[in-house]
Amino acid sequence: MFDNLSEKLDKALHVLKGHGQITEINVAETTKEVRRALLDADVNFKIAKEFTNTVKEKALGQNVLTSLQPGQLMVKIVKDELTQLMGGESEGISLAGDPAVILMSGLQGSGKTTFSGKLANFLKSKKTKNPLLVACDVYRPAAIDQLHVVGEQIGVPVYSDKDNKDPVSLAKAGIDYARKNGHNVVIIDTAGRLAVDQQMMTEIANIRDAIKPQETLFVVDSMTGQDAVNTAKAFNEVLDFDGVVLTKLDGDTRGGAALSIKSVVDKPIKFIGTGEKMDAIDVFYPSRMADRILGMGDVVSLVERAQEQFDEEEARKLQKKIAKNKFGFDDFLNQIQQIKKMGSMKDLLGMIPGAGKALKGLDIDDDAFKHIEAIIHSMTPEERSNPSLLNASRKKRIAKGSGREIKEVNQLLKQFDQMSKMMKMMQGGGGKKMMQMMQN
């Protein structure tokens, strides 16, 4: 995500490294590079100029007031300004009303249907929400089918009626259906066209006026840069939507849309899409995004993802097993499944401070665990629960069965052994000691 932008900003901010103090000259040099980085990211010229002017002013103004090194001061100022540019505070969606109605708008291909599914899935996981998806694209029967596929995938019902060609009455019927069937959130997926056109705009505006949704969201493909911003502007003029959903951030190396949209339409970015799968959705937090852009990672989101997957009951069982020295390869597989649920490897690594830069250019396999899983799957259940059974001939059989080399099997066994020891240490009161070690 935003790799190009991160790299260029990193270079720009390097200008000040080693300088003892901020001067008009080195600030001018840095901000020139920052501006270039923003322009390369497809940020609108005016926004880039205003941004760098503010940064320059703040750097020169704060210089005397702080004990920070010039390089650190500049990073802080740029981070604060990036956060402001993307909206400052995070703004959630309103789910007031029973049912709460969320209307999706956007061009065809922007990721509306996918996002409708992701949002339904996201809300469903909040336990108190029981969403209904409504298919309101009366022009493309395939779009209705697509929403049904998505709904089935996440276990959320979909209301549709291929005989009804009036989107307004369809939307109303969907809301009625939700009321009668106990759905407290309704997500309405509407028709999109390939380009902005008046008829589409009028149609969505008519739906909006008739059903008065709690939220009208505008979905846009972030990879389209300035086009995304222009489309947002056109939709906002007619719809006056409540928030933006930026999709396909996983493929966006530049970040121009994310950086410009808020200041052009003055509407917050509320969610982002970071992949094709149903769990590739995140609430948008401007300051966390600024951290990621500047290569500082996003530890808060990482911890939140881990917490979402954390199952107290499972953790307790695991703890007992470790205490009894019964932690086996099946438990190990289980742990891998939990990590995989947290998201793609690339995405997770991007949240670790500095990791993005360190791993740049490496082709991270999104299924990084597949070899480990293959090896474990080639073990018998007895071997999995009692790895000490694994003698040379068994290892050879496992290597053959999994199509891996014997040295990989050995490596995994060694890692497993180390991990078991470490877990034991954490259990036996060593945890405190280890934490202290890590803090030092």
Q: Cβ–Cβ contacts within 10 Å for residue 386, how many? A: 13
Tell me if 121 contacts ligand GDP by CB under 6 A.
no
* Closer residue to ligand GDP in complex, CB, 31/116: 116
Tell me if 343 contacts ligand GDP by CB under 6 A.
no
In the complex, the smallest distance separating the C-beta of residue 275 from ligand GDP, rounded to whole angstroms, is 5
CA distance 353 to 301: 12
In the complex, the smallest distance separating the C-beta of residue 288 from ligand GDP, rounded to whole angstroms, is 17
Q: Which of 30, 110, 190, 263 binds ligand GDP (CB under 6 A)?
A: 110
Cα 296 to Cα 30, 292, 299: the distances in Å are: 19, 5, 9
Q: Nearest 10 degrees: CA dihedral of 288, 363, 309, 181?
A: 90
Residue 249: φ, ψ to 5°? -65, -25
Asked whether 120 and 133 are in contact (CB, 8 A), the reply is: yes
Residue nearest to ligand GDP (CB): 273
In the complex, the smallest distance separating the C-beta of residue 294 from ligand GDP, rounded to whole angstroms, is 22
In the complex, the smallest distance separating the C-beta of residue 192 from ligand GDP, rounded to whole angstroms, is 5
* Closer residue to ligand GDP in complex, CB, 208/248: 248
Tell me if 112 contacts ligand GDP by CB under 6 A.
yes
* Closer residue to ligand GDP in complex, CB, 231/247: 247
Cα 102 to Cα 120, 154, 190, 268, 389: the distances in Å are: 10, 18, 11, 16, 57
Burial of 117 (0-12, 13-18, 19+ CB in 10 A): buried
Q: Which of 30, 114, 216, 260 binds ligand GDP (CB under 6 A)?
A: 114
In the complex, the smallest distance separating the C-beta of residue 364 from ligand GDP, rounded to whole angstroms, is 15
Q: Which of 6, 52, 83, 247 binds ligand GDP (CB under 6 A)?
A: 247
CA distance 283 to 122: 10
CA distance 34 to 12: 6
Q: Which of 87, 99, 111, 343 binds ligand GDP (CB under 6 A)?
A: 111
| Amino acid present at 176 | D
Tell me if 109 contacts ligand GDP by CB under 6 A.
yes
Tell me if 145 contacts ligand GDP by CB under 6 A.
no
In the complex, the smallest distance separating the C-beta of residue 252 from ligand GDP, rounded to whole angstroms, is 9
User: H or E stretch including 6?
Assistant: helix 3-14
What residues from 270 to 309 belong to the interface with ligand GDP (CB under 6 A)? 273-276, 280
Q: Would you give the binding string for ligand GDP spanning residues 184-203, x where CB under 6 A is met?
A: --------x-----------
- Chain centroid to Cα 353, Å, comes to 16
CA distance 320 to 423: 11
Asked whether 272 and 298 are in contact (CB, 8 A), the reply is: no
* Closer residue to ligand GDP in complex, CB, 85/220: 220
Q: Which of 81, 242, 250, 298 binds ligand GDP (CB under 6 A)?
A: 250
Alpha helix segments (H runs only) across 63-165? 70-85, 112-124, 141-154
248 is in an annotated binding site: yes
**Cα dihedral sign, 233-235-238-243:** negative
| Amino acid present at 400 | K
What are 315's strand-pairing partners?
Answer: none
In the complex, the smallest distance separating the C-beta of residue 153 from ligand GDP, rounded to whole angstroms, is 12
Q: Would you give the binding string for ligand GDP spanning residues 69-88, x where CB under 6 A is met?
A: --------------------
What residues from 401 to 420 belong to the interface with ligand GDP (CB under 6 A)? none
39 is in an annotated binding site: no
Residue 95: φ, ψ to 5°? -120, 25
Burial of 409 (0-12, 13-18, 19+ CB in 10 A): buried
Stretch that binds ligand GDP, among 5-13, 245-253, 255-263, 312-320 (CB under 6 A): 245-253
Q: Would you give the binding string for ligand GDP spanning residues 306-325, x where CB under 6 A is met?
A: --------------------
Q: Which of 105, 113, 121, 301 binds ligand GDP (CB under 6 A)?
A: 113
| Tokens, residue 311 | 């199952």
Stretch that binds ligand GDP, among 44-52, 69-77, 110-118, 291-299 (CB under 6 A): 110-118
Alpha helix segments (H runs only) across 138-224? 141-154, 167-180, 198-211
Tell me if 248 contacts ligand GDP by CB under 6 A.
yes
111 is in an annotated binding site: yes
30 is in an annotated binding site: no
Number of residues interacting with ligand GDP: please give it, by CB under 6 A. 18
Query: Residues annotated in the binding site for GTP, as ranges?
Result: 106-113, 189-193, 247-250
Binding stretches for ligand GDP (CB under 6 A): 106, 108-114, 192, 247-248, 250-251, 273-276, 280
